Structure 1
Amino acid sequence: MGAAGRGSGERGAGRRWVLALPPVLVLGLVFLYPLALVVQQSVSPDGGGHSVAAYGQVFAESAFRGALRNTVLIAVGATVGALLLGFALALVVAFVPFPGGKALSRFIDVFLSFPSFLITLALLFVYGTAGMANGLWTGATGAAEGPFDFLHTPWGVLLAEVTYFTPFVMRPLLAAFSQVETAQLEAAASLGAKAPRIVRKVILPEALPALAAGGSLVLVMCLNEFGIVLFTGAKGVTTLPTLVYGKAILDGDYPGACVVAVVDIALSVALYGLYRVLSSRAAPAAPSSRPSRPSRSPRTDGVRRARA
């Protein structure tokens, strides 16, 4: 009986491995193999053989250090801005009834499919040198030129990335807010809790996992954003993706471009790994075998937090 059970278990495990093999092979060919080629090219100089000299040359360049600094600063700034703006807008859409709220929620889903350069072009039409905002200013004041001339600076890149990536934060937040019971908010308000306190004590704890998920996604996407930086034409703003483009296409330095790409990949994977570690530590511990007291309902927990 035991031997038969072990045999059937081994056959089931073997069957699972067979079923998992095709997707693993597809994943390896489509994603892992190209990455392996990039790593191989980074240690394959033009003269042949294998060498890590390209890493030392790239790391010694001031252009690389500046691109790394710009990439991290812009990515962190855009992530913070998208989190703050996305949280505020998601609160309004989810909890403040207004005409067109459902249509706006659906538009957010459509917005996620837009390419990033469209947002940059839209901002150029609004805040560009010949854009609508400067046109209104010159028409009203008679000045020769308008005051808005920041799109070709790091601030323009930051504004474009915050504008584009905010819906990526709003989408998981709206899903989380849809699980918050209205009765929980009404009970907290009936106890005298003001709106800011309800947001801080009741809504924010429910939104933290969605904020972490949206923020980590936006951070990784900002680290690898290419279209926005390229289309703004920001002077002196070089990021790791644009440095890869410059080395490969403009300079023909393929080993150097692959070195920068490897650094960008390592940075993205490290940040994702950090997010996974932090999220796993923040997850509630598994219940023990000892009998526990009956748990309170989410409504009771929210009201207790609002009263605290």
Structure 2
Amino acid sequence: MRRGRAAVRGLWALPPAVALGLVFLYPLALVVKQSFTPDTGGVSLAPYRQVLATEVFREALVTTVWLAVGSTAGCLVLGFALALVIAFVPFPGARAVAKFIDVFLSFPSFLITLALLFVYGSVGMANGLWTDVTGATEGPFQFLTTPWGVLLAEITYFTPFVVRPLLAAFSQLDTAQLEVASSLGAGPGRIVRRIILPEALPALTAGGGLVLVLCLNEFGIVLFTGAKGVTTLPTLIYGKAIFESDYPSACVVAVVSVALSTGLHTLYRMAGRRAGA
């Protein structure tokens, strides 16, 4: 009887497994296979040796990692501060701000970058106001086409991915602990360090891990900022495949990107278990 039920459960799991194999695993296997297939044919490690030895790949790898780590750190700090204000500082419109964050999560990344271009771009509002006031030929805000502009855009876009789980964690926090600590003379800083931060650690770990993986694979923000000197692994894959038609090299970079994301996701899962996320 138990074997029959186990067999039925196995049949129910078969369609999702087949769909996963066709939609994800099979294309991924083709990418891995192509990465070992040079243009001359056969199976070889030559594409890996060729790509990994280039300066462009090393710069793209370093840029991708530091942008992802920097964006994650910025999102954690800014997201924690915003969540604290929304959850514990009473002000008119707090509920509307929380609802807006939910809507913000559905925005495409290029839309936020486009908004920043309207404000801080070369012909944006800030530079236009500066030239009107001072009579200069160009404004001082030229950072959007640099790595710092990409960093600002990623922090702006991904911070709500940290705020949302923090708000959910703060909603379950027993406010009686805060009232008791305050009545005993604890200041706001000590309350945050001793009571709120330990409770928020699992949510911070979950949000930070999600932002880190998303930033590693972000393509639209880098593309729409027009940062010519900023090359990340996704943009390198795009350039190799579209402009150079070098599909083996593009697949090599894609395999490295997948391995990097998978490795960091594994570390995030391990940290999440320790933090109780």
Question: Is the CA contact 2:205–2:271 (under 8 Å) kept in the aligned structure 1?
Answer: no
> 2:185 is matched with which residue?
192
Q: 1:175 aligns with which of 168, 176, 192?
A: 168
Q: 1:115 aligns with which of 100, 108, 126?
A: 108
Work out whether 1:132 is the aligned partner of 2:125: yes
Q: Aligned equivalents of 1:228 and 1:41: distance in 2?
A: 28
- Counterpart amino acid of residue 75 in structure 2: A
Q: Aligned equivalents of 1:281 and 1:164: distance in 2?
A: 28
What is the TM-score of this pair, normalised by structure 1? 0.87
> Residue deviations 1:180-224, cap 9 Å, x none?
122221111111010011111101001000000000000000000
SS of corresponding position for 1:151? helix
CA radius of gyration, larger in:
1
> 2:24 is matched with which residue?
31
Work out whether 1:224 is the aligned partner of 2:209: no
SS of corresponding position for 2:144? coil
Question: Is the CA contact 2:169–2:199 (under 8 Å) kept in the aligned structure 1?
Answer: yes
What's the CA shift for 1:100? 1.2
- Percent identity between matched residues is 72
What's the CA shift for 1:27? 1.2
- How many residues are treated as equivalent by the alignment? 277
What is the TM-score of this pair, normalised by structure 2? 0.97
Q: Aligned equivalents of 1:112 and 1:76: distance in 2?
A: 20
> 5+ residue gaps in structure 1?
1-7, 285-308
Question: Is the CA contact 2:122–2:142 (under 8 Å) kept in the aligned structure 1?
Answer: yes
Q: 1:52 aligns with which of 45, 49, 59?
A: 45
What's the CA shift for 1:12? 2.1
Listed as ranges, the matches of 1:75-114 within 5 Å are 75-114=68-107
Listed as ranges, the matches of 1:1-308 within 5 Å are 8-283=1-276
Q: Aligned equivalents of 1:173 and 1:242: distance in 2?
A: 32
Q: Aligned equivalents of 1:137 and 1:193: distance in 2?
A: 46
Q: Aligned equivalents of 1:198 and 1:137: distance in 2?
A: 43
Q: Aligned equivalents of 2:212 and 2:96: distance in 1?
A: 28
